[in-house]
Amino acid sequence: MMGVFGAIVRRDLRLALRQGMDSVMVVMFFVIAVVLFSFGVGPEPNVLARIAAGVIWVSALLASMLSLERLFQIDYEDGSLELLALAPVPLEVAVVAKVTAHWLTTGLPLILAAPLLAVLLRMDGEGFGILIAVLLIGTPTLSLIGAVGAGLILGSRRGGVLLSLLILPLYIPVLIFGVGAVDAAIGGFPFKAHLLILGAFLAGSAALCPWAAAAAVRQAIE
């Protein structure tokens, strides 16, 4: 079973590297969104520093939405998804493998770009470490929740818009605690509780989302 998991992750990574502008596109979108915020708000350093964590998180949410639509869509269209569903391993394993590959190609680059943007927004240095930490815990949760939406929109036209409407509201708790942790760290308050709650979100979605997403995919290929 682990062999199959590895095989699907490797295949998706290979596909992403060969044809995918996905990672580049997601990071570019992230950078542009953050830069637009700073143009919109104005050059006042105190204001930018105050909203830095929120801007980075919201931009990261929107950027990770960009590629979610295609998480299952391409495999669905070329028939690969049917064959994955018929493979001798549970479809849930294939779903987790695809989510893992998705996070490695989009979530991880976002985390690498985040500190750079934090500097751009003059975020307080106290918050850098914790920003990386909350993104590391938070973005896998986003990919997992997003997989359920990506499964549900299979076969629908205008899936991307529908996906945002389905998924973005579910991202709110992650956003609140993600930003809260960074703000707490900058303000010198304890932030452990935020991290624990984000960890709970990740554990909860890791336990539930693969089943929900696999059920949605089965529904779509029937």
Partner 1 sequence: MTQFTGKDLLCVRGGRVVFTGLDFSVGPGGALVLIGPNGSGKSSLLRLMAGLLKPYAGIVAWDGEGIAEDPEAHGGRMHYVGHHDAVKPALSVHENVSFWAGLHGHVGTVDGALETLAISHLSDVPGRFLSAGQKRRVNLARVLAAPSPLWLLDEPTTALDKATITTLERQIAEHRAGGGIVVLSTHGEIPLEGAGVLELAHFQAGSGEIAA
Per-residue binding string, partner 1, 17-36, x by CB under 8 A, is -xx-----------------
When binding is defined by CB under 8 A, the residue of 55, 58, 63, 85 that contacts partner 1 is: 85
**DSSP state at residue 8:** H
* 173 contacts: CB under 8 Å, gap ≥ 6: 201
d(CA 34, CA 155) in angstroms, rounded, equals: 33
- Candidates 140, 147, 2; CA nearest to 73 is 147
- Of the candidates 88, 48, 84, 28, the residue with the CA atom closest to the CA atom of residue 217: 84
Q: Please tell me the count of residues contacting partner 1 according to CB under 8 A.
A: 23
Angle at which helix 45-68 crosses helix 108-120, to 10 degrees, equals 160
- Of the candidate residues 21, 32, 82, 196, the single one contacting partner 1 (CB under 8 A): 82
Site string for partner 1, 1-20 (x = CB under 8 A): --xx--x---x--xx--xx-
59: which 2 tokens?
A: 């931009």
**Binding-site member from 42, 43, 45, 88 for partner 1 (CB under 8 A):** 88
Our CB check for partner 1 shows the closer of 8 and 118 to be: 8
Stretch that binds partner 1, among 57-65, 80-88, 144-152, 163-171 (CB under 8 A): 80-88
Integer Cα distance of 215 and 52 in angstroms: 38
* Residue 162 sits in the site that holds partner 1 (CB under 8 A): no
The pair of structure tokens assigned to 66 is 């960009």
Q: How far is the CB of 24 from partner 1 (least distance, A)?
A: 16
Q: Smaller CB distance to partner 1: residue 80 or 168?
A: 80
Interface contacts to partner 1, rule CB under 8 A: 3-4, 7, 11, 14-15, 18-19, 77-80, 82-90, 221-222
